Amino acid sequence: MGRLNRYGQIKQIILILKPMKIFFETVFCKIYGLLKEEFNAMGLLTVLLSINIFTVVGYYKTLFMRESSILLPLVYEIIIVIIIGIIDWIYFLKGDRFRLIYERYKQNPLMSGTKGTRITILYIIMTFGMLVSLIWLARMNIKNN
């Protein structure tokens, strides 16, 4: 009975992750289409994902731990960026998988058109908007202490 329950939980996680996979593939393909260089596209996506993780950690430290510092130690930041870079490399570049993803992406007019562009631009704006709001929140936290 435990195995069936665990299988159901894994199936639910996969169903949740599928839209995220499509989302990040779309963002990668839009960046790749703009830069025309797969390694640069992967690097930019790695930077954006790293900023997202640092922002979440910063919000946690500011809101729940009430710390004035939103930064992680430099060693942890480097490790996080390297891990995300390796995962991106394995997913997109290893074995030229990005070519398959990009061909599938170009065949989908909905995502390769204006909808995909809007999603990518919104993602970039939200990434930096959340970072700026975190910096503002941390400054307010410093002033109140």
One digit per residue, the tens of pLDDT, for the chain of length 145 reads: 455 566 677 777 777 777 888 889 899 999 998 999 999 999 999 999 999 999 999 999 988 888 878 888 999 999 999 999 999 999 999 888 889 988 988 888 877 788 888 989 999 999 999 999 998 888 887 666 6
How is the chain split into domains, by residue range? 20-144
Predicted local confidence at residue 4, as pLDDT: 54
Dihedral sign of CA atoms 92, 93, 95, 100 in order: positive
User: What is the residue type of 106?
Assistant: K
81 is written with which tokens? 């960026």
Q: pTM, whole model, 2 decimals?
A: 0.83
Asked whether the beta carbons of 88 and 42 are under 8 A apart, the reply is yes
User: What is the residue type of 7?
Assistant: Y
Asked whether the beta carbons of 109 and 15 are under 8 A apart, the reply is no
DSSP string, 42-89: HHHHHHHHHHHHHHHHHHHHHHTS--S--PPPHHHHHHHHHHHHHHHI
